[in-house]
Amino acid sequence: MYSGIFTLTLKRLAVFAAAGALVLAQGPPPQGLTPHQLKPNVWWLEGGGGNTGVIVGNTGVIVIDAKTTPAFGKMIIEEVAKITPKPITHVIETHSDGDHVNGLASFPAGLVIVAQETNKKEQAAALAKGGNGAPPAEHQPTQVITKTKETFTFDGEKVELYHWAPAHTGGDLVVYLPGEKIVFGGDLIPVQGPDPVIHAEKNGSSEGWIRTMHGVVKLNAELIVPGHGNPQTRAAVEGRLKASEEKRARVIAMVKERKSLAEIKAAVDDNSPPPAGGERRPATFASFSEIVYNEVKK
C-alpha cells in the first residue's frame, strides 16, 4: 500500500517538475502594456517593443505599429477593446523592424495593412529566408505607399502618410494626423541617445534621415510620438535635427582631412558611460558617425 502511494507521489512530482521546466523554458509571461491618451480619440501604448498608436475613427480603429511578438499583439487587441468596442480595421506600419510588425500575427485576418513599398519588399525578403523578422504571409501589407505624400480617410479619420527618403530604413513612413496635430514617427525619432539610429543593411541613410526630419518639423504637429520612449515636442525634435546635421558635417570634414574612423569616433562620439538603466543606442547598430563615414568613403 505505502509503496503504491510512494510511487504515485513520485509520478506527481515528476509531472510538477516537467511543468515547472516548461515554464522556465518559455520564460516569464510578458508584462502588460500601458495606455496613454493624447487626444479624445488618440492613444499610444507603451511596452512590448515599439510604441503603438491607436486612433478611434467613426466606425473602426486604426493601429500604428504592432509590437514585437504575437503575445504583445494580443495585448494590443485587448487594450483596444478597453478603449472602444469598435473593431480594428486598419494597421499602418512605420517601418519593417520586427519589434513594430511581428505582433500582427495575432491580429484578425482581412485588415487593411498599409506600408511603404520598400517596407513590403523587406518583409517579403525576410519571409523568403524563413520568416524571421516578419509576420506571416496573411498579415503582410495589403496597401502600398509609393509617393512622397499620400492622404487617406480611414474610418472618418484624415491621415497623411509621408516618405521623403530612406532614413532609419529604406521603407519608413511618417504618419501625420492633421486634425489632432500628432505625428507617429517610428524609429526615425531618436530617444535612446542623441543620434539617429540607422539600418545600413536596410539601405537607411544619414542624408535621407536629415531630409526626412526637415519634412517632419515642417508639419504643423504639436506632439511627435517616437518608436520608443515618450512623445516629443516639435521644438525638441528640431533641436535633435540641428545637432545631427552639425555632427554629420563635422564627420564629413574629418573624412576630407583623411582622418581614420577611429580618430573620428574618438573626436565626435559621446564616449561617456551610458545613462542608468539603458544604452545610448542599441548595441547592434553602428554609431551615427560610422554610418556617415561609410557613406562618404564609398
In a domain, 11, yes or no: no
As for how many domains the chain has, the answer is 1
Asked whether residue 6 is assigned to any structural domain, the reply reads: no
For residue 13, the model assigns a pLDDT of: 44
Mean pLDDT of 75-89: 98
Mean pLDDT of the region 111-122: 97
The one-letter code for the residue type at 174 is V
pLDDT in tens, 153-204: 999 999 999 999 999 999 999 999 999 999 999 999 977 677 999 999 999 9
* Better-predicted residue by pLDDT, 43 or 285: 43
pLDDT digits (tens, 9 = 90+) for 241-286: 999 999 999 999 999 999 999 999 999 987 655 544 444 445 567 8
Cell of 17: 517538475
Residue % of the chain over a pLDDT of 70: 85
The residue segments making up the domain with residue 106 are 33-242
274 within a domain of the structure (yes/no): no
- 78's grid cell: 485587448
Within a domain: residue 105? yes
- List own/partner pairs for 258-262 with CB under 8 A and 24 or more apart: 261/290, 261/293
Residue 24 lies in a domain: no
In a domain, 61, yes or no: yes
Question: Is 288 among the domain residues?
Answer: no
Residue indicated by cell numbers 511627435: 224
Residue 140 sits in a domain whose CATH number is 3.60.15.10
In a domain, 27, yes or no: no
**Which H or E run contains 144?**
strand 143-145
The strand pairing partners of 226, in sequence order, are: 186
